Amino acid sequence: MGYEGMKDFFSEIENEYSTKRPSKPSSQIRPWVRYWARNLDNIFVALTLLTVVSLAEPAFIMKNETIISFVLVFLWAFVEAALLATWGWTPGKWILKVKVRNADGSKLSYQQALQRSLAVWFKGLGAGLITPITASFAYMRLVRQGITSWDKEAECTVSHETIGWVRIGMTVMAFLSFSALITAGITMK
């Protein structure tokens, strides 16, 4: 999903941006935008938690990277649910203008959002164990049926608005910054 994923992502954005339509929600199927929004969220939660943990016990991170990654993704489901129920989006969804709502346009309840988030963690991310397999199946279902199993179960809709160049720049900068931090961390070992 490296180069081709980024190429598809920016192609989707370019096509969407160049149509000059008003920035209103649409029911387009945009799996790559959803993918990058989730990864932005992963970056934000990883940076936040790793900063806190590294201040308390820096060696812990170096010794337990796999466990920390697994726990972070699981715990994010609860944070994501709270954000969707209160604000209606997560940081990544806000930046890339992805909205998860009930059919009537209202925000999800916490229980509904938690059900959805845990289903994403298990069915979409394979509980952090078999992510490439479960993500591939989720991608195929979304493209073929127009909805993921977790959105169908939670009875919610996902809509997208036009993403401007500033938000694209924010996304690229977040990924480049995180990559630089990872590289710096690896070289420090």
Mean pLDDT by 10 residues, the chain (189 residues): 54 47 57 90 82 73 73 89 94 92 95 95 88 91 92 91 87 84 63
Tokens encoding 108 = 């999800």
- In this prediction, residue 150 carries a pLDDT of 94
Tokens encoding 123 = 């069915």
Tokens encoding 181 = 């931090």
Beta strand residue intervals within the chain, DSSP E: 98-102, 156-160
What is the number of domains present in the chain?
A: 1
Tokens encoding 179 = 């990559």
In the numeric block, the tokens 């999903």 are attached to: 1
Host domain of residue 106: 3-188
35 close to 50: Cβ distance less than 8 angstroms: no
**Cα 133 to Cα 32, 112, 144, distances in angstroms:** 16, 25, 17
